[in-house]
A and B are shown apart, each in its own frame.
Chain A
Amino acid sequence: AQSVTQPDIHITVSEGASLELRCNYSYGATPYLFWYVQSPGQGLQLLLKYFSGDTLVQGIKGFEAEFKRSQSSFNLRKPSVHWSDAAEYFCAVGASYSGGGADGLTFGKGTHLIIQP
C-alpha cells in the first residue's frame, strides 16, 4: 500500500530565510506527487504537482519541489519565506484505490510551518 512520510511535524523559520520541507513516499508504480497548503481555518490549496518530465517542478507563491526517484523524495523548497507562508503543508501521492481505475490522494501527516519575525 502507498504511504507518505513527512518527518518534520513542526518547522520554525525566520522570515526571509530559505525553507525546505521533506517528503518521502512509498508507492510501487510511477508516483504522482502533490504539495498542498492549508492556512488556518481554510481549505486545501494546490501548490504544485509532479506527473512526469522535469524533476524540478515550479509552483505558485514561489515554491518549487524536486522529485528524486532514487531517494523516494519530493521535497518542497522556497528561497525566502514570508510571514504569510505560515500554514500546514501536506505532501500527497496519487494512488489507486478499489482495485484500480479509481485514484485518490494519500496524504502525509503534514508539517506545521511557523515563521519567526
Chain B
Amino acid sequence: DTAVSQTPKYLVTQMGNDKSIKCEQNLGHDTMYWYKQDSKKFLKIMFSYNNKELIINETVPNRFSPKSPDKAHLNLHINSLELGDSAVYFCASSPRPGFTYLGHGNTIYFGEGSWLTVV
C-alpha cells in the first residue's frame, strides 16, 4: 500500500492547456503539501494544507490552484500551462503542520512525484 500516491506519474502536454495532478494519502495525516522540483533538481515548497485549510502559499502564480476536498486528498490544478512549469511535482503529508508541535518531532512523507513536461 502506497502511503502517499500521486497520479499521473508522467504527463506531457502542450502550452496553454489546463491539467491536474491528484494526490491521496492513507496515513491519516492532517497536513499535506505540494513541492516543485525544477530542472536543476532544486526542491521548493509551493503549498500546504492542514485539515483542508490553506496554511502555506509560497509566492506561486495564480495559475496554480490547489484543492483539498478532504484531509486525505490534495489536488493541484494548473491553468494555461507554460514551458517553465515543466518540473517534477511532489505531494507530501505529515501528521501535523508544525515541527514544534510534537515533542518527538514531525516527519514529512513524500509521494513518488509527477513528471510534468510542457511542450
Contacts and interface: CB of A to CB of B under 8 A. Distances in A.
Given A101-B97, A107-B43, A44 B90 contact: yes
B111 A90 contact: no
B106 A103 contact: yes
Contacts, number: 75
Please tell me the size bucket of the interface on A. Answer: 20 to 34
A102 B51 CA distance: 12
A32 B111 contact: no
Interface string B77-108: 00000000000001000000111100011111
A41 to B, nearest CB: 8
A98 interface: yes
B32 to A, nearest CB: 11
Given A102-B55, A110-B42, A94 B111 contact: no
Contact of B41 (A42, A88, A92, A106): A88
Interface of chain B, main secondary structure: loop
Given A94-B99, A98-B55, A102-B98, A42 B112 contact: yes
Contact of B108 (A88, A102, A105, A109): A105
B26 interface: no
Contacts of A46: 107-109
B105 A32 contact: yes
Please tell me the size bucket of the interface on B. Answer: 20 to 34
Contacts of A79: none
Interface string B47-59: 0101000011110
A101 B42 contact: no
Contacts of A94: 99, 106
6 closest cross-chain pairs (CB), A and B = A51-B105, A43-B112, A102-B55, A94-B99, A44-B110, A107-B43
